[in-house]
């Protein structure tokens, strides 16, 4: 079962907020949403294409993949921002 738009938004906000706390950043709700949704796409791509583990649905694994992707996104943005 796939995620609807509300599921994407909920997972995005939660993953973005968790990544913000772990990475020591301070963003607003909208930025957390964007970071979380883009992180979910990034994490899903890595999980599916590089690890061979498809992820989908509204569950803890999806949240963990989105959180990992969001942390990776914030880390990469931090590297680019330093230059």
| Angle between the N-to-C axes of helices 60-82 and 29-45, in degrees from 0 to 180, rounded to the nearest 10 | 110
Q: What is the pLDDT of residues 24-48, one digit of tens each?
A: 998 888 898 899 999 988 998 999 8
| pLDDT higher than 90, residue 17 | yes
Is the pLDDT score of 54 beyond 90?
A: no
Residue 83 in this model has a pLDDT that exceeds 80: no
> Which residue, 73, 68, 76, 77, is CA-closest to 18?
68
Which residues, 6 or more positions from 23, have their beta carbon under 8 angstroms from its beta carbon? Answer: 71, 74, 75, 78
User: For residue 2, what pLDDT band results from cuts at 50, 70 and 90?
Assistant: low
Q: Give how far the C-alpha of residue 71 lies from the chain's centroid of Cα atoms, to the nearest Å.
A: 7
Whether the pLDDT of residue 9 is over 90: the answer is no
């Amino acid at each position: 079962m796939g995620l609807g738009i509300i599921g994407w938004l909920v997972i995005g906000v939660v993953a973005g907020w968790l990544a913000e706390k772990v990475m020591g950043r301070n963003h607003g709700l909208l930025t957390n949403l964007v970071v979380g949704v883009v992180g979910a796409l990034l994490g899903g791509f890595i999980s599916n294409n590089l690890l061979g583990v498809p992820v989908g649905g509204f569950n803890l694994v999806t949240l963990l993949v989105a959180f990992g992707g969001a942390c990776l996104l914030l880390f990469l943005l931090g590297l680019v921002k330093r230059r």
